Amino acid sequence: MKQYPHLYIDGQWTEPIEPRDVELIDPTREEPFARVTLGTAADVDRAVDAARKAFESFSTTSVGERIALIDRVIDVYESYADEFSELIAREVGIPVSNRAQVTGPADHMRVARDILRDYPFESRIGNAIIRREPIGVCALISPWNWPIQTGVIKVIYGLAAGCTIVAKPSLNSAASGTLMAQVLHEANVPAGVFNLVNGTGRDVGDRLSRHPGVDMISFTGSTAAGKLVGAAAAGTVKKVSLELGGKSANIVLPDADLEQAARWNIQRCFFNAGQSCHAPSRMLVHENQMERVVPFLIDEARQFRLGDPLESSTTMGPVVSAEQYKSIRDLIKTGLDEGARLVTGGLERPANLDRGYFVQPTVFSDVTPEMTIAREEIFGPVLAVIPYRDEDEALRIANDSPYGLGGYVFGGPRTNPHRVVNRLRAGRISYNGAPTDSYTPMGGYKQSGIGRSMGRFGLDEYLEVKSVYGFEDEACALPDLFGSTEEITSVSGVSE
């Protein structure tokens, strides 16, 4: 059994003040495969103190120094790619065939580095200098479903900004979080700039949220947990960035290529065993086309090969835990009880898999908008197909959700997809399966979150904005914030 007995604080591997071990359960075999030692609030205090001390010097490093640091992190990270792939297969059931989970983090690091090269840390409005300065000590709490990538995005943009960090990965993915700390250690990140404290949300997460020495907290997870983080952080008025739950809709317009829309929806929804906050878990189809779409959905859902995530032929592994397995199955049963029509999948264990938290790829048709499976985030391989009468009704159904993380539209030449896309209330919209871009912002409307990650907007999250007056000559040498070539007449005054 692998052992992860240390926290990473102030550039050193250290034992917690009051150590307590927990076992990590392999979701394929339903048995322990590793043991992780947890920290407590007292260890958070140590880590925050180290980060505060390191901020004084790290916040003044040059852009060139931070670019060199990111390059070192990329080099070390890529040397561990195979180890990461095998580790996340064991701890959270992600197949080794899903290389995006491992290659994606390095790609995001390169994007952050490239944006940093040209980022306008100083610009001007009129005769005033506008400075963007690192916000301070950042607490970064990441989830298990993208165990490396989400944490890497948070960390790398924090480092790019000149912030110092205390990170807490999910307990389900504490092993890969600890390995990422090893990567940063080997990349010679200065002592105290990055710190890692494994622990529970109730203990470590809550202390990070409330800590007066933390200037910003970035959290990715469920909406319920995000509300607790926001409430706890309000006491010290720290900046809060939240990426939370989703129940994304895919509106298939009548002139769309139905087969393309159906097959894409299944692949995107069931990627990562459906454990993705952007999953298009509601598919809206015109009522006259429901029966034409269903065979394509069934056929595509049955293409997945469920099995041991360490085998290269596996395309869907187990869900992460016994708790998640029960939750998904309970919601499938609720769908059946409420009258949705099951067309493939269901409650039975997949054939030839007598253990492991495996859920069959499941599709319900004839789902009505008020059904539980149409409203709650299932976070598993379950799709609800909902009929609609016209475009206005489709948009009402899509937007009738407390969530607004992602949205999708499929259409053809006879419709106006821009009109539909622009009326969807969500942070990221894809038309006809267009891929996303790591330079563009990611985040949600409504209860799907606050703030944005990735790209220039992601870097903005880690920066404060300062207006400086009285240096007109220096200001004139800087680029205009709004790109104007016209002379701006400043208006003097006293503000609140």
| Residue 243 designated active-site | yes
Residues ≥6 apart with Cβ < 8 Å to 414: 254, 255
285-300 as b/e: b if 16+ CB within 10 A: bbeebbeebbebbbeb
Q: Give how far Cα 317 sits from Cα of 90, 97, 309, Å.
A: 10, 10, 5
Instruction: Name the 3-class secondary structure at 217.
Output: strand
User: Do 7 and 15 meet the contact criterion of CB atoms below 8 Å apart?
Assistant: yes
Among 182, 143, 184, 134, which residue's Cα sits nearest to residue 466?
134
Q: Is residue 29 within 8 Å of residue 353, measured between CB atoms?
A: no
Structure tokens at 425: 């209330």
The strand pair at 282-286 and 428-431 is best described as unpaired
Q: Which residues pair with 130 in a beta bridge?
A: 123, 467
Cα 173 from Cα 101, distance rounded (Å): 13
DSSP H or E segment with residue 24: strand 20-26
Name the token pair of 95.
């197949």
User: 480 near 127, Cβ under 8 Å?
Assistant: no
Q: Of 78, 186, 243, 376, which residue is the catalytic one?
A: 243
Rounded to whole angstroms, how far apart are CA atoms 9 and 195?
5
Structure tokens at 384: 């609800």
On whether the CB atoms of residues 150 and 219 are closer than 8 A, the answer is no
Nearest CA to 71 out of 160, 169, 161 is that of 160
Q: What angle do CA 85, 86, 89 make, to 5 degrees?
A: 90
Cβ contact 283:383 at 8 Å: yes
Backbone angles phi, psi at 109, to 5 degrees: -65, -40
Q: What is the helix (H) or strand (E) element at residue 195, kind and residue range? A: strand 194-196
Q: Are 166 and 192 in contact (CB under 8 A)?
A: no
Long-range contacts of 260-264 (CB under 8 A, 24+ apart): 260/410, 260/432, 260/433, 261/293, 261/410, 262/293, 262/296, 262/297, 262/300, 263/296, 263/300, 264/410, 264/433
Strands, E assignment, 225-293:
239-243, 249-252, 282-286
Helix axis angle for 100-118 and 63-79, nearest 10°, is 170
Which residues are catalytic, by number? 243
